[in-house]
Amino acid sequence: MTDSRQVFEIPITVREEDIDRLGHVNNVVYLRWVQAAATAHWRVLSPPEERERLLWVVVRHEIDYKRAAKREDKIVARTWVGRANRLQFERHTEIVHTGDGQNKEKLLARARTLWCPVDAQTMRPVEPGAEVRARFSTEGSG
């Protein structure tokens, strides 16, 4: 199993409906990509019984937009876990234009998101357990 504290990456496809009247990807779409990366990371690293027991809700998004993404751009979302306290788990994400072989990567957006684990039955915040905490937060979290 991959160390969840390492960077996890998913490719992003810019869809026609992602483009706004300014001719670039709408800012709200970046948040969808942030959530897609986090969700994919969770699905890859958690066993089915954990996915049935726990859901995650966003408590806070912070996002800095650096450059506009366009229709033909080759993009990836890179995410990694951060610190956690009792019921808030930090996650970092970067949306990156991967370049075209001649040009180097360019950062499009950087996000920090706080997630809260909730019980899938009661929909109430819940302590996720030591195994989840170890996989989805950095060492030294308090």
Q: Is residue 1 part of a domain?
A: no
Per-residue pLDDT of the chain (142 residues; tens, 9 = 90+): 345 558 999 999 999 999 999 999 999 999 999 999 999 999 999 999 999 999 999 999 999 999 999 988 899 999 999 999 999 999 999 999 997 667 789 999 999 999 999 999 999 999 999 999 999 999 644 4
- Tell me how long the chain is: 142
At 78, the amino acid letter reads R
**What whole-number distance in Å separates Cα of residue 38 and Cα of residue 25?**
20
pLDDT of residue 139: 61
Give the domain range for residue 121: 8-135
Domain of residue 128, CATH code = 3.10.129.10
pLDDT of residue 90: 97
User: In 3-state terms, what secondary structure has residue 17?
Assistant: helix
Q: Is residue 118 part of a domain?
A: yes
Residues 4 and 135: beta-carbon distance below 8 Å: yes
Q: Is residue 3 part of a domain?
A: no
Q: Is residue 140 part of a domain?
A: no
Q: Is residue 53 part of a domain?
A: yes
pLDDT of residue 5: 59
Residues 38 and 115: beta-carbon distance below 8 Å: yes
The percentage of the chain sitting over the pLDDT mark of 90, rounded to a whole number, equals: 86
Residues 136 and 113: beta-carbon distance below 8 Å: no
pLDDT digits (tens, 9 = 90+) for 82-93: 999 999 999 999
pLDDT of residue 72: 83
At 47, the amino acid letter reads P
Q: Is residue 94 part of a domain?
A: yes
Q: Is residue 34 part of a domain?
A: yes
Give me the number of domains the chain comprises.
Answer: 1
Q: Is residue 142 part of a domain?
A: no
pLDDT of residue 1: 34
At 109, the amino acid letter reads A
Per the structure block, which two tokens stand in for 112?
Answer: 């920090």
